[in-house]
Structure 1
Amino acid sequence: MNQLATTVYIDESSYYLEVCLDPFNKRIRVDDYRGNLKQLLSKVEELVHEHQSEKLIIKGRKEDIIPFFEFGLQPEGMIDRYFHGSDAYLLTKYYTSERKKNDHWVTEDGMIHSIYQLNVNSQKSLPPKEYELRKVNESCADDLSTLYKHVFQIYPTPLHDPAYIKKTMKEGTIYYGYYYKGKIVSAASAELNLFYKNAELTDCATLTEHRKYGLMKLILIELEKELKQKGIYCAYSIARALSFGMNAVLFQLGFAYRGRLMNNVYIYDKLENMNMWVKDLASC
């Protein structure tokens, strides 16, 4: 059973923290902070040990990078314009030697090099008329969870559970999907941060037999349109570093590579490295 990630808010006299406790992926992620860095970092380290986490991620601001370095954090990626137009730096620290090891790094580097040689304007023609692109609402949560069960044996969030999908929809996450003969065969979502005006394009899944029509690219384009309508221009996505297809889709949609998060989440059957891709929707 997937252990749900929970967000805790710690508001002390000298600092504030917004922390995602993620027991399933054995990590802690600091999504926001302000105040006394020394004290808040001490609190974060306390949480890491309390929850026996193996990895810490902090979305840091440029002006705080040096103190984070002194604390032992290292940069793995960045998100352009994440904080109301200011860049976020993804800084990490590992607490076990195993979590820091990786056998695929050079292969994944080569994949990024190959992707950057692709033709950006290689959009396929529209899929056959039997495919219908629609916004997915709560009434289709069961179908959506069935899709994710088929595509992902293991996933970092419990998308196998229709109740969880309905919860994310109520919280503002937008889902689009392609329907074929009444069933969802491809889908993706946009998880909104309305305070900082950014969105993560995520939960991308297509059934194997429907992957030849470029459905995911068309879904992401539709999500981008809705984000722009909402005044959200910072879009980012985190793709499995070993998935050539998904990384290629993001590159061809105009996303730029911004680093790799090592052993970041459990997907399929193991911990996976995840590539960060970022796009400024205001420039397109």
Structure 2
Amino acid sequence: MHLGKTMTLSEKNYNLTVYLDPQNKRVRVEDYLGSLPDILEQAEKLVESEKVDKLIIKARKEHFTQLIERGFSFEASIDGFFLGSDCVFFSKFFSDERRTSPHWLQEDGIIKSVYHLAEPAQNITPPKDYVMKKMDERDAEGLSELYKAVFQIYPTPLNNPEYIVKTMREGTIYYGFVHDGQIVSAASAEVDSFYKNAEMTDCATLKEHRKHGLMKVLLARLEEELIENGIYCSYSIARALSFGMNAALHQLGYAYRGRLVNNVFIYDKIENMNVWVKDLAKPPNFGQ
């Protein structure tokens, strides 16, 4: 597995942080300051040198029109991502194959179905033999076994316990359910302490344990921890073809904010990913 790397480029009139992601054949602009035309030109040079076919930029919403003018397509947004200011995801594709999406209408149908769901029943209580706990470095092996069992392919190397330990040390919070000594469900919050946002991610439950609503309980617990740490922008990026995960996010009060086309290799192929957002400082509004 080719691990991605983050690099910072500084020139006289701009500063740029990019993530080179060979596994998912993309370059992602994480942050930038300065001249946008020069930043985009540099990012496109990286696409060429890295031989990838998607460029994605986490942009400021005030650059919306400039990005359209330069041939980028709007894909999704995250309310309040940059210390309360909105982030807009724009992308540019460098192959027709990467641009086309055979499941688009099916995924539209999933979103429509999800929004027709009733409001959630509050306070799910899993059976007593499921114990929720905050995971620490001693649980890395068990977490990696869970991720290996659930995903054939995953955008990050979660099948490696050392990688999980590294993310924990960098501030990612993991919660999981243990059943008969085995971790059967887990989720994490990847915290950006500079911009005060968190991505709810790495959600996995073994098939035979999915009927108890464990994921909703884990995500709700992670949200409590984020609020305790003064982080109110919570978002999640779910497989667009997964009715269950999109439904869980909607029922937890997350709002749909768009779809990232052919974004990552996950499960067993390259997939579109839906972006969901929640302002943890506000009471939930399921109709939004």
Q: How would you bin the TM-score normalised by the shorter chain?
A: over 0.9
- Distance between the aligned counterparts of 1:68 and 1:125, measured in 2? 44
> How many corresponding residue pairs?
283
Q: Structure 1: which amino acid aligns with 2:92?
A: K
- Distance between the aligned counterparts of 2:78 and 2:122, measured in 1? 25
Following superposition of structure 1 onto structure 2, how do residues 3-152 of structure 1 map, counting pairs within 5 Å?
A: 3-123=2-122, 125-152=124-151
- Distance between the aligned counterparts of 2:169 and 2:119, measured in 1? 35
- Distance between the aligned counterparts of 2:144 and 2:2, measured in 1? 17
Offset at 1:62? Answer: 1.6
User: Residue by residue, what CA displacement relative to the aligned partner does 1:32-57 show, whole Å, maximum 9, x if unpaired?
Assistant: 10101111111101101000111011
TM-score normalised by length of structure 1: 0.98
- 1:220 aligns with 219
- 2:169 aligns with 170
Do the aligned partners of 1:124 and 1:214 also contact (CA within 8 Å) in 2?
no
Q: Structure 2: which amino acid aligns with 1:151?
A: V
User: Residue by residue, what CA displacement relative to the aligned partner does 1:49-82 show, whole Å, maximum 9, x if unpaired?
Assistant: 0001110110111211122112211100000010
User: Residue by residue, what CA displacement relative to the aligned partner does 1:77-116 show, whole Å, maximum 9, x if unpaired?
Assistant: 0000101111100001000010011111011101101100
- Distance between the aligned counterparts of 2:108 and 2:6, measured in 1? 33
- Distance between the aligned counterparts of 2:25 and 2:215, measured in 1? 29
- Distance between the aligned counterparts of 2:124 and 2:26, measured in 1? 41
Q: Structure 2: which amino acid aligns with 1:182?
A: G
Offset at 1:123? Answer: 4.3
- Distance between the aligned counterparts of 2:120 and 2:11, measured in 1? 51
Q: Which runs of 5+ in 2 are unaligned?
A: 284-288
TM-score normalised by length of structure 2: 0.97
| Stretch moving more, 123-132 or 206-215 | 123-132
- Distance between the aligned counterparts of 1:232 and 1:56, measured in 2? 28
- Distance between the aligned counterparts of 2:61 and 2:143, measured in 1? 38
- 1:235 aligns with 234
Do the aligned partners of 1:15 and 1:34 also contact (CA within 8 Å) in 2?
yes
Q: Secondary structure at the match of 1:201?
A: strand
Do the aligned partners of 1:198 and 1:232 also contact (CA within 8 Å) in 2?
yes
- 1:281 aligns with 280
- 1:196 aligns with 195
Identity in percent: 58
Q: Which runs of 5+ in 1 are unaligned?
A: none
- Distance between the aligned counterparts of 2:79 and 2:176, measured in 1? 27
- Distance between the aligned counterparts of 1:100 and 1:177, measured in 2? 36
- 2:286 aligns with none
Offset at 1:125? Answer: 3.6
- Distance between the aligned counterparts of 1:125 and 1:86, measured in 2? 33
Offset at 1:124? Answer: 6.6
- Distance between the aligned counterparts of 1:234 and 1:124, measured in 2? 23
Q: Structure 1: which amino acid aligns with 2:165?
A: K
